[in-house]
Amino acid sequence: MTLKDTLLQIGQTARDASHAVARASTRAKNTALLAIASAIRAQRNELLAANAADLAAAKAEGLDAAMMDRLTLSEKGIEAMAQGLEQVAALPDPVGEITDLKRRPSGIQVGKMRVPLGVVGIIYEARPNVTADAAALCLKSGNAAILRGGKEAIRSNQAIAACVKQGLAAAGLPETAIQVIDTTDRAAVGYLITMPEFVDVIVPRGGKGLIERISKEARVPVIKHLDGNCHVYVDSAADPQKALAIVENAKTQRLGTCNTAESLLIARPIAASLLPRIAAMLTSRGIEIRGCDETRALVANAKPASEEDYATEYLAAIISCKVVADIDEAIAHINKYSSAHTEAIVTENYTTALRFLREVDSASVMVNASTRFADGFEYGLGAEIGISTDKFHARGPVGLEGLTSQKWIVLGNGEVRG
Amino acid sequence: MTLKDTLLQIGQTARDASHAVARASTRAKNTALLAIASAIRAQRNELLAANAADLAAAKAEGLDAAMMDRLTLSEKGIEAMAQGLEQVAALPDPVGEITDLKRRPSGIQVGKMRVPLGVVGIIYEARPNVTADAAALCLKSGNAAILRGGKEAIRSNQAIAACVKQGLAAAGLPETAIQVIDTTDRAAVGYLITMPEFVDVIVPRGGKGLIERISKEARVPVIKHLDGNCHVYVDSAADPQKALAIVENAKTQRLGTCNTAESLLIARPIAASLLPRIAAMLTSRGIEIRGCDETRALVANAKPASEEDYATEYLAAIISCKVVADIDEAIAHINKYSSAHTEAIVTENYTTALRFLREVDSASVMVNASTRFADGFEYGLGAEIGISTDKFHARGPVGLEGLTSQKWIVLGNGEVRG
């Protein structure tokens, strides 16, 4: 069988299974999730052995330390996977939820019912824990899934896939509901993202290069974000203590996350008094500041910022900084340079806060809070399959609801249209 | 300037204008809508003259009667356009609506704010009234729009575009917020649907061929439906009077609409008593019945139905008919043959009704109501830009809300992530 035929078969069996998963009871889906968790715990040794083989092969190929770290499944990581499945089981089932039922003048009641999207394709790098995580979210939201992890994790992923199959079987659900592609051939991704008849949405998780390529070539909707070039704007009416705490947390709590602040804007009237204090705090935390001329006049150790700096997601101990005239210049700067992920304003001024909320065109817009809150768990979604910086369908952190759609339902009593 | 450069310039100016429209007040948008309506009434004679020129050219090219009819702008049609604009002005503004604000354990309040999509491209056939209609919906939902109507209507559309510009200017909004492409070159569509940097969504309105081509070639999300192969399933627990009324209305009220029933399914236990009555009603209304063997045994004048019949949207005085064992066979048949537009069940059985609602995978699913209700006005959306049979983003009738997205907003008081 050619690779293309293999992918078409996976697609067809996923589509077939999706109908069973869509109408599965909450109890059946939770039974499967808990059974997968049990299987993962019971087959800890098999998982560790498969992962050891992946690690040995990766070491031989000279993978860097960060990739080796993401590839590693520890005993603790295995337990975390099992607990993650249990947490998803504990979340409310979004499928079948009926909302907005309203009676119309014709007599009919019209509302919406939440339904699964169908078949979700997840493409990710060599992180075995994503296999269990993505399987859980797709299953709970009533979708079938086709998972394609990085080739370095193939043995670990297949060991996890075996646990998933057991769990599905234990709940009487088709084993083809969650399929983990077992070829390392890169061409498989090309087929997966161009089968709209079998795949309803693709969620790529990983580096920018992977996501750009998938977005460009996909013939299926993609839920994605490319960059997290997040801004904090300290307004002239900012509370200095809040500004210091929020900038510190947004920039320094974790350097490598997509909701980390990469750029600081500060209003001119408050810059002279506050920017030196913020800069001293950042410097004490090891952050390099790259600023405009006004920044450099106030902050001795600041380096000059280029146009490119303002457009850069550093994911490193660097922050760009610009003194702006006011909220207008701040909003214009953000809407020009931002990647539309997350932006925050620090202000005590009501009208300025509302303008920022309304006019900043990003997936998450915050007042007096750290950009680090842009996260499915912090937002109360219970879990997160990814983050979207697009406006179509899901936007921002995507949880179970983002893997569903709503159909219209009409409850009548024999009504006909006049 | 090449055609491509022209389209890129239209795209860039639309993108620039979209920011102004997005933050425009409800008052400014409504002022523009009412001013466009006034301009259309005031320039009635110019519109009639432009339309007469279009009609003369179309007649010379031998357009068929139906197309000539759609192309015609009567005095009454012009007044209807103006009234349509006034109706959209009267609708609630969806932009800025904040929902689901919830306080999280961290102290932040998280919610959603409705925002425009950005730039909407509308591609439609030679129906000048769509120009005003689409402009109104895009503007009210805070979007910029690029409109591309059928080439036969070019003079009428440009006359309407002049009114739109006047209305925008009267409200202080950029005239480039709504642009009507003024070239008849078909290649313009190809550029319009492949500029994701300038166009956020395409809404094609027209024949299946046009929509299929656009969906296939677009590099931008498309809100669309191809077919309306709608079903009515008369269950064994149906109220015969409701069944008769609903089948009659769903099939015969209008033959050419996408929510017209094209296929009748009836449960075996009730077929012998009820199908002959339904068939007699349909025959008396001039509808040809094409049925399975069991249908033909009960209905003398029924012709045989082929596989293709069950998959066909007739848009004509024909209905396909099949006797099915029960709800299971009905749902399986619908999910196999339906175009996922609208399906209705007639039943008095509570459990059967809920199963149908849950398991039929269509944009609108109805109990004891005519499929003809699947419509933006009947659903209370106030207006309709189109109907979607996709699951991603909007599904079913698409009104103002379908032209918007939701961003997350966070209201904090200095919170940072722990």
On whether the CB atoms of residues A302 and A321 are closer than 8 A, the answer is yes
Share of chain A above pLDDT 70, in %: 100
At A330 the three-state DSSP class reads helix
- Percent of chain B scoring above 70 in pLDDT: 100
Tokens 């590839």 belong to A71
In terms of pLDDT, which residue wins out, B210 or B108?
Answer: B108
Residue B105 C-alpha, separation from nearest chain A C-alpha, in angstroms: 8
Is residue B135 scored above 90 in pLDDT? yes
Return the pLDDT at A227.
Answer: 87
Domain formed by B230-373, architecture: 3-Layer(aba) Sandwich (3.40)
* Nearest chain A residue to B114, by CA: A358
Mutation target to probe the B interface, by most B beta carbons within 10 A, among A409, A411, A413 is A409
Residues B349/B237, Cβ–Cβ less than 8 Å = yes
Alpha carbon A67 to chain centroid distance? 19
The pLDDT tens digits of the residues spanning A169-202 come to 999 999 999 999 998 898 999 999 999 999 999 9
Q: Is residue A413 a contact partner of residue A107, using CB atoms and an 8 Å limit? A: yes
Mean pLDDT of B96-125: 96
CA-based nearest residue in chain A for residue B408: A364
Q: Which of A233, A303, A226 is nearest to A262 (CA)?
A: A233
Q: What is the pLDDT of residues A134-174, one digit of tens each?
A: 999 999 999 999 999 999 999 999 999 999 999 999 999 99
CA A259 to chain centre: 11
Contact B417 A106 (CB under 8 A): no
How far is residue A224 CA from its own chain's centroid?
A: 7
Q: Please tell me the distance from the alpha carbon of residue A173 to that of residue B197, in angstroms, as a whole number.
A: 42
Task: Report the distance separating Cα B409 and Cα B418, nearest Å.
Answer: 20
| Nearest chain B residue (CA) to A335 | B19
Distances (CA, A) of B135 to A219, B147, B255, B285: 29, 8, 28, 39
Contact B12, B135 (CB under 8 A): no
- Average pLDDT for A354-382: 96
Residue contact B367–A106, C-beta within 8 A: no
State how far the Cα of B244 lies from the Cα of B252, in Å rounded to an integer: 12
pLDDT at position A249 over 90:
yes
- State whether B115 and A380 contact (CB < 8 Å): no
pLDDT digits (tens, 9 = 90+) for A316-333: 999 999 999 999 999 999
Residues of B in contact with A200 (CB under 8 A): 391-392
Each residue of B293-306: pLDDT tens digit? 999 999 999 999 99
CB contact under 8 A, B391 and A117: yes
Q: 């070239």: which residue's tokens? A: B183
Which residues in chain A have Cβ-Cβ distances shorter than 8 Å to B413? 242, 368-369
Closest by Cβ to B407, choosing from A110, A250, A395: A395
Alpha helix ranges (H) inside A299-348: 307-310, 327-337
Q: What is the mean pLDDT of residues B340-364?
A: 97
Has residue B210 got a pLDDT over 90? Answer: no
Write out pLDDT tens, residues A266-317.
Answer: 999 999 999 999 999 999 999 999 999 999 999 999 999 999 999 999 999 9
Q: What percent of chain A has pLDDT over 90?
A: 92
Q: What residues contact B34, with CB distance under 8 A and at least 6 apart?
A: B85, B86, B89, B167
d(CA A355, nearest CA chain B) in Å: 9
| Residue of chain B whose Cα is closest to the Cα of A415 | B369
Mean pLDDT of A111-123: 97
pLDDT tier at B51 (50, 70, 90 boundaries)? very high
- The first and second tokens of residue B31, run together, are 């002022």
Q: What is the pLDDT of residues A46-71, one digit of tens each?
A: 999 999 999 999 999 999 998 999 99
Q: Give yes or no for residue B206 having a pLDDT over 90.
A: no
Cβ-Cβ contacts under 8 Å for B417 (sequence gap 6 or more): A249, A253, A370, A372, A373, A378, B106
When computed from its CA atoms, the radius of gyration of chain A, rounded to whole angstroms, is: 24
Predicted local distance difference test score (pLDDT) of residue B225 = 84
Note the pLDDT of residue A327. Answer: 98
Domain ranges (residues) in chain B: 3-223+398-409, 230-373
Q: Name chain A contacts of B362, Cβ cutoff 8 Å.
A: 407
How do residues A294-304 score in pLDDT, each as one tens digit?
A: 999 999 999 99
Decide: B251 and B279 in contact? Cβ < 8 Å: no
Secondary structure of B308-327 in HEC code, one letter for each residue: HHHCCCCCCCEEEEEEECCH
- Does the distance separating the beta carbons of A406 and B372 come in below 8 Å? no
Per CB-CB distance under 8 Å, the chain B contacts of A344 are 410
**B412:A358 CB<8 A:** no
Best of B373, B384, B390 to disrupt the A interface by mutation (most A CBs within 10 Å)?
Answer: B373
- pLDDT tier at B1 (50, 70, 90 boundaries)? confident
Query: Can you give the pLDDT at residue A383?
Result: 84
- CB pairs < 8 Å spanning A and B: 213
CA angle, B27 then B29 then B35, to 5°: 100
What residues of A are in contact with residue B358 (Cβ under 8 Å)? 23, 96, 113
Percent with pLDDT over 90 in chain B: 92
pLDDT at residue A410 in the model: 98
pLDDT in tens, A382-401: 888 989 998 888 999 999 99
Min distance A46 CA to chain B CA atoms (Å): 36
Closest CA to A170 of A42, A291, A72: A42
- Count CB-CB contacts under 10 A for residue A349: 15
- Tell me the mean pLDDT in the region B133-142: 97
Task: Output the average pLDDT for chain A.
Answer: 96
Q: Examine the pLDDT at B104 and tell me if it is beyond 90.
A: yes
Across chain B, what does the average pLDDT equal?
96
What's the mean pLDDT in B245-254?
Answer: 98
Q: Read off the pLDDT of each residue in B1-11 and give the average, rounded to a whole number.
A: 95
Amino acid A338: pLDDT: 95
Chain A partners within 8 Å of B361 (Cβ): 19, 22, 115, 407
Confidence of residue B181 (pLDDT cuts 50, 70, 90): very high
How far apart are the CA of A152 and the nearest CA of chain B, in angstroms?
Answer: 32
Closest chain B residue to the Cα of A357, Cα to Cα: B409
* pLDDT at residue B382 is higher than 90: no
The per-residue pLDDT for A210 is 86
pLDDT confidence tier of residue B402, bands split at 50, 70 and 90: very high
Q: B415 and A370 in contact by Cβ < 8 A?
A: yes
With 90 as the cut, is the pLDDT of residue A77 above it?
Answer: yes
Nearest to A373 among B108, B335, B393 (CB): B108
Token pair of B45 as six digits: 């004679």
Contact criterion met (CB below 8 Å) for A117 and A403: yes
Query: Is residue B383 scored above 90 in pLDDT?
Result: no
Establish how many alpha carbons lie within 13 A of residue B319's alpha carbon, considering only the half-sphere containing its beta carbon. Answer: 33
Residue A136's pLDDT is 97
Lowest mean pLDDT among A25-34, B166-175, B393-402: B393-402
Q: Does domain A3-223+398-409 have CATH number 3.40.605.10?
A: yes
In A266-386, which ranges are continuous DSSP H helix? 268-284, 293-298, 307-310, 327-337, 350-359
Distance from the B405 Cα atom to the nearest Cα atom in chain A, whole angstroms: 6
Work out the pLDDT band at B154, boundaries 50, 70, 90.
Answer: very high
CB-based contacts of B213-222 (< 8 A; 24+ apart in sequence)? B214/B123, B214/B189, B217/B190, B217/B193, B218/B193, B218/B194, B219/B193, B219/B194, B219/B195, B220/B121, B220/B193, B220/B194, B220/B195, B220/B196, B221/A221, B221/A392, B221/B392, B221/B393, B222/B193
Q: Which token pair is A377?
A: 């768990």
